[in-house]
Structure 1
């Protein structure tokens, strides 16, 4: 009974950040001609997933990322529990707190070179092409996952986990029904994929969905 009540309480908690409606006319579409396709990637690190996108547009939206990472080809983003994600040592207490108690979130950001699949050679990687409107919605979703200070700037915290990387304060609370992988699912939903985010709580559920879609592009026409 206690577990059931706990799960119901978690479902009532904040599920920020929200997925973006790509058909919303307020979505900012880059004024680039002609229309292009954009190559993006989903990376599974075993227990969590990240979204890898070309750096240029997100750095335009969040200038602090250009100042921090410079002229990198891509950036990987992952959203998760502040304590668990940033801890150099994972303990049982941190794990249970992350799962069963709403906690603050962070966004992990990593500079990735142009050969994304080689950089993540030991991880499972899926790539897909997005049209301009869907890509703009994904960029907006990622941007809105960052918390801002009073001046509107994103808030850096600790150095990241690998490579050239940084943690930033995130929007929303992490809990059992709002995990790092559900965040990735909301990003895919923002990008126009027909994915239900309700039970996309594990990395395998995300990667299985992508494999089942048969919508992964060969990369032709993507920049």
Structure 2
């Protein structure tokens, strides 16, 4: 990475930190939207990482092959990260730096589970966000486009991130600072018509504050 790129990244990180307190008070749908037409998605936070979960029964594309990989799961959580760091048995600071600056490939981690709650998912927090059916369609399509192939590359059970069934898949997008896992989660919500500027999201705390603002919006 040349000095100009590094300077640009640092400037963007500084700007994002300035904007970190500027969360929206708007919902992801118009006030007149009928409540019964809304669908729930969930932002899941674990330490420095966030992902997004959707009820399997609500997934618009019923023919998507990934659904068949989790036949007994009521919900699917999707997270994205550097392939080497994400799938490591033991993460290190050097691996984190290498992922942020010198990543060569990325992975999507899919976790199947039954209840959207923090304790069974070994998560710090789970926030429910309501979106329209159209927003869910856009979110689901954006997730499907992130896969380079729909066959799992590895079984994640040995990583002990969660006791739930989980698998890794090759991802299309390049992982680099500041476009990392929390930006990816924010981008999915942005695709679902939520009022969030994904480019400004770097930290998991910022992502979870945004999710809370959507959840609490009238």
2:73 matched to 1:72?
yes
TM-score with structure 1 length normalisation?
A: 0.75
Q: Secondary structure at the match of 1:90?
A: coil
Which residue in the other structure is 1:5 paired with? 5
Deviations 1:93-142 (A, max 9, x none): 31111111243110000011034455236521110211110010111111
**Residue ranges of structure 1 left out of the alignment (5+ in a row):** 12-21, 23-34, 149-153, 218-223
Which residue in the other structure is 1:156 paired with? 152
Which residue in the other structure is 2:101 paired with? 100
Matches for 1:16-165 after TM superposition, within 5 Å: 36-56=37-57, 57=59, 60-63=62-65, 65-120=66-121, 122-148=123-149, 154-160=150-156, 161=159, 162=162, 163-165=164-166
Kept in 1, the 8 Å contact 2:139–2:188? The answer is yes
Count of aligned pairs = 189
**Deviation of the 1:40 alpha carbon:** 1.1
Kept in 2, the 8 Å contact 1:105–1:174? The answer is yes
Q: Secondary structure at the match of 2:89?
A: coil
> Following the alignment from structure 2 to structure 1, what is the Cα–Cα distance between the partners of residues 7 and 182?
18
> Following the alignment from structure 1 to structure 2, what is the Cα–Cα distance between the partners of residues 58 and 87?
32
> Moved runs in structure 1, 4+ residues, more than 2 A?
1-11, 114-122, 210-217
What's the RMSD between the two structures over aligned residues?
2.7
Kept in 2, the 8 Å contact 1:210–1:216? The answer is no
TM-score with structure 2 length normalisation?
A: 0.77
- The structure with the largest helix share of the pair is 2
Kept in 1, the 8 Å contact 2:55–2:75? The answer is yes
Structure 1 residues 10 and 159: alpha-carbon distance in aligned structure 2, compared to 1, 3 A threshold: farther
Kept in 2, the 8 Å contact 1:54–1:73? The answer is yes
> Following the alignment from structure 2 to structure 1, what is the Cα–Cα distance between the partners of residues 84 and 134?
35
Deviations 1:188-207 (A, max 9, x none): 10111111112201111101
Q: Secondary structure at the match of 1:156?
A: coil
